[in-house]
Amino acid sequence: MSTTKPCTPTDGEDNSNGTRRDFLKQTSLLTAIALTPGTVVKAAENQWDEKLAGVFEKQALHLEVNGVKHELMVEPRVTLLEVLREYLDLTGTKKGCDRGQCGACTVHVNGVRVNSCLSLALTNDGKKITTIEGLAKEEELHPMQEAFIKHDGFQCGYCTSGQIMSAVALLKEGHAGSEIEIREFMSGNICRCGAYPNIVKAIQEVKGGMV
Partner 1 sequence: MNQFQYTRPAETAVAVKSLAKEPNGYFLAGGTNLVDMMKMGLVVPDKLIDINRLPLKKIEKTATGMHIGALASNSEVAEHAYIKAQYPLLALAINAGASPQLRNMATVGGNLMQRTRCPYFFDTAMPCNKRTPGSGCGALEGINRMHALFGASDKCIAVNPSDMNVALAALDATIHVTGVKGPRAIKIGDFHRLPGDHPELDNTLQKGELITSVDLPTASSAYNKHVYYLKIRDRTSYAFALVSVAAALHIENNTITGARLAMGGVAHKPWRLSTAETFLKGKAVNEDNFKHAAQIAMQGAKAYEYNKFKLKLAPNAIVQSLKLATGLAS
Query: Beta strand 112-115 with 59-65: parallel, antiparallel or unpaired?
Result: unpaired
Binders of partner 1 in range 179-198 (CB under 8 A): 183-185, 187-189
Binders of partner 1 in range 7-36 (CB under 8 A): 19-20, 23-24, 27-28, 31
Helices (H) then strands (E): counts for the chain: 9, 5
Nearer to partner 1, 67 or 126 (CB): 126
Q: Tell me how far the alpha carbon of residue 162 is from its chain's centroid.
A: 11
112 binds partner 1 (CB under 8 A): yes
47 binds partner 1 (CB under 8 A): no
Nearer to partner 1, 68 or 101 (CB): 101
Dist CA 159 CA 64 (whole Å): 24
DSSP string, 48-96: S-HHHHHHHH-EEEEEEETTEEEEEEE-TT-BHHHIIIIIS--TTS--S
Binding site for partner 1 (CB under 8 A): 19-20, 23-24, 27-28, 31, 57, 59, 75-77, 79, 98-100, 103, 106, 112-115, 118-120, 122-123, 125, 166, 169-170, 173, 175, 183-185, 187-189
